[in-house]
Amino acid sequence: MAKVTEGYMPFLGYKTYYRIVGERKDNGKAPLICLHGGPGSTHNYYEVLDNVADDDDRQIIMYDQIGCGNSYLDGHPELWTQDTWLDELDALRKYLDLDECHIIGQSWGGMMQIAYAIERGAKGVKSYIISSGHPSSSLWEKEGLRRIKMMPQDMQDAINHALKTEDFSGEAYDRAVAEYMHRYCDYWIGDKAPECCTRPKKSGGEAYLYGWGPNEFAPTGSLKDFEYVDRLGEIKVPSLICSGISDLCSPLIAKTMADGIPNSRWILWERSRHTCFVDRHDDYCKVLIPWMNEHDK
């Protein structure tokens, strides 16, 4: 088993936790950086990719973004912006000497990749693996509202009432949101999910609320104006787009990225929701590893 190293990076007067699997080698294989979702989730589920360090002799770096997990912080709503998290990624790359890398991002992490490529230039990034991300908050919202219309009428009513009154509480609302997330977000493999996916974690509720909003279909936070569809052509990094057949990232959203990003490839995974690398782990790795090797050159 590959060596696991944990540590903390100073950031904005606080600290960012990181976890490194494997050791850096002069083998021509750039490390893989993992950007988790949320904002406000944690690195935990990426531990399913620890095997890649051994199977591909490649270093894997994952971290808890400021505001969650082992980097937990709240009481600072002014921090929960795109620039904060992109600055953190830049700082981590500098701190760990990651001049060259591949980057995988899931959900919000996929959004980060798009913004990083367009706004920061993504110098030294060999390839992206955009896993269930999106290029447009308004498109994400539109697709969410469309899917709500497929739910039982009482659940539609509960969600629509919450959206109208901005009162996101109550048993009926909670039950409707839980059903929505079960359809499009929960692990497809259910109770068979590995320990790293089910262990208790300290989520960043404030980071999510102020960064995104109260739920997946109502972007009201600092990322509500995240709109890059018309700029996807500016992304020069080869991009592997992955999404699940029953994913918060609907096929329309994934195809929008595939159509707009030059030198991209899209895989729509059957038997998968919002975490393809968990739900279809073995098959996912059979695609991920050759993809990175192809673009190391």
Active site residues: 107, 247, 274
Place of tokens 């996929």: 110
Assigned token pair, 208: 């999510």
The string over 100-125, giving b where at least 16 C-beta atoms fall within 10 Å of a residue's C-beta and e elsewhere, is ebbbbbbbbbbbbbbbbbbeeebeeb
DSSP label of 116 = I
Assigned token pair, 4: 């696991």
Work out the angle between the directed axes of helices 153-165 and 171-184 (0-180°, nearest 10).
110
With residues binned 3-state (H G I as helix, E B as strand, rest as coil), the percentages for the chain, rounded to 5, are 45, 20, 35
The residues facing 243 across adjacent strands are: 268
DSSP characters over 5-27 = EEEEEEETTEEEEEEEES---SS
Q: Give, for 145, the enclosing helix (H) or strand (E).
A: helix 137-148
Query: Mapping DSSP to helix (H, G, I), strand (E, B) and coil, where does residue 133 land?
Result: coil
